[in-house]
A and B are shown apart, each in its own frame.
Chain A
Amino acid sequence: MEILPLIAGICCVLGGIGVIVHTNPINKIIMFALLEIGMIGLIISSYYLDIAIISSLCEPICTIILLLGYLKYITTVKKKKRYGRNLPVLSK
């Protein structure tokens, strides 16, 4: 067997186990990027280069969306004010 599918398969399995085992969402997002890299490697090693273009464009966008969403989530959880954003008149 060639060397690229072997390394991509190891990346896929280690990334999948790492996403499940870690509990901090930043570490989970990093392990998810490793999993996606393994999937792109397996797609390339079976010569679907057009699908490799699409997946290489879409998956960093997915990672950025997850990071921004996690930052918004942690800001919403840590926020201490009780009145909320929808009624700005009551806060004055």
Chain B
Amino acid sequence: MEFVEYILYIGYALLIIGTIGAVIGPRVDNPLIRMLNVEVPTVGVSLIFLAYDEALALMTFIAVNAVLSLILIRAVILDVEYKENE
């Protein structure tokens, strides 16, 4: 097996595992756990970018992903606070 195919198959495996886990994983009624499950297909997409030699896309995707996790976890906390105040 070539090295590029090896990275590509690991990326596909992470995409499938992460998607199934984010939809029907254990205890996904908690929004924080569902958000943490969604981080797995992100790494799969990054590995597929790496396998197709898209260096600039990979760098941009990794840098935006940190900001995205900040916004998502802030949204989860605000959701819980609004549910408590009602």
- Give the residue of A36, A73, A82 whose beta carbon is less than 8 angstroms from that of B32: A73
What number of A residues sit within 8 Å (CB to CB) of B?
Answer: 43
Contact status B59-A54, CB under 8 Å: yes
Chain B, Cβ-Cβ closest to A24: B33
Bound CA span A12–B12, Å: 12
**Are the C-beta atoms of A29 and B84 separated by less than 8 Å?**
no
User: With A and B bound together, what is the CA distance between A69 and B32 in angstroms?
Assistant: 9
> Which residues of A have CB within 8 Å of B14?
12-13, 16, 35
Contact A79 B84 (CB under 8 A): yes
* Residues of chain A lying within 8 A (CB to CB) of residue B50: 42-43, 46, 48
Would you list the 4 A-B pairs with minimal beta carbon distance, nearest first?
A: A20-B21, A69-B73, A62-B66, A58-B66
